[in-house]
Amino acid sequence: MSDEQEQDAELVHQILEGDENAFDALYRRHRLRLYQFIANKISDWRDAEELVNDTFLKAKEHLHTLNEPEKVLNWMFRIASQLVAGWHRKHRNPVQGYIDVYEAEGEAAATAVIHQATQEYTMKTELWTALSKTIAQLPALEQKMFRLQLAGKSYKEIAEICTVSVSTVRNRLSRAKKRLGVWAKAWEKADAEGRDLDLSELNEKKGKS
């Protein structure tokens, strides 16, 4: 059993004894790994965040059934896989959705299903494209740190890779996430107003920060 597995097992035992801090520690310990795993399998980063939270909630609910607490991470990956499969069933092929609705409600309703699915797919594609462009506008060091964190690296590991202090990593990542938060609000505002996101809005706010 590795040191990490021993620590996981200890956290599981503490959670089962009612220690909420232990659950928070388990969440912080594995959230990024699970996020990366889920985000690589679905097309919506916001849904990926929700599925991560759902994974932990489901894990907490059924933790008493886990026979090998040292393998809690692999167990949570299996839970996440089930949730991802459910997500894909929910967001199934719009052609099949068209057929189902056509048989039940007729041509007009089925055409509306295809139209809505196409709009949603386009929106998600544009969202991912805009997100990638926005990350690319971060300073090079913050880009590197952000991608390392998404890859599951700890602050300490990122500090070693980037040859900076842990406090520098924490501060630069906090700054990067604030900038991405500004982007997210700008995108949602543009979408609500039915217009494309003008990335110059982001650049102006970035220059003021």
Number of neighbours of residue 42 by Cβ within 10 angstroms: 16
Read off the pLDDT of residues 42-55 as tens digits, 9 standing for 90 and up: 767 778 888 998 99
The domains located in the chain, with CATH, are 3-90 (1.10.1740.10), 137-208 (1.10.10)
Q: Give the pLDDT score at 1.
A: 72
DSSP calls for 152-202: T--HHHHHHHHTS-HHHHHHHHHHHHHHHHHHHHHHHHHHHTTS---HHHH
Mean pLDDT of 4-23: 90
What ranges in 106-139 are assigned the alpha helix state H? 107-136
- Amino acid code (one letter) for 150: L
Task: Tell me if the pTM is above 0.85.
Answer: no
Q: What is the pLDDT of residues 76-120, one digit of tens each?
A: 999 998 888 777 767 655 545 554 555 556 666 655 655 566 555
Query: What is the Cα–Cα distance from 50 to 58, expressed in whole angstroms?
Result: 12
Contact partners, residue 12, CB within 8 Å, separation at least 6: 26, 63, 66, 69, 72
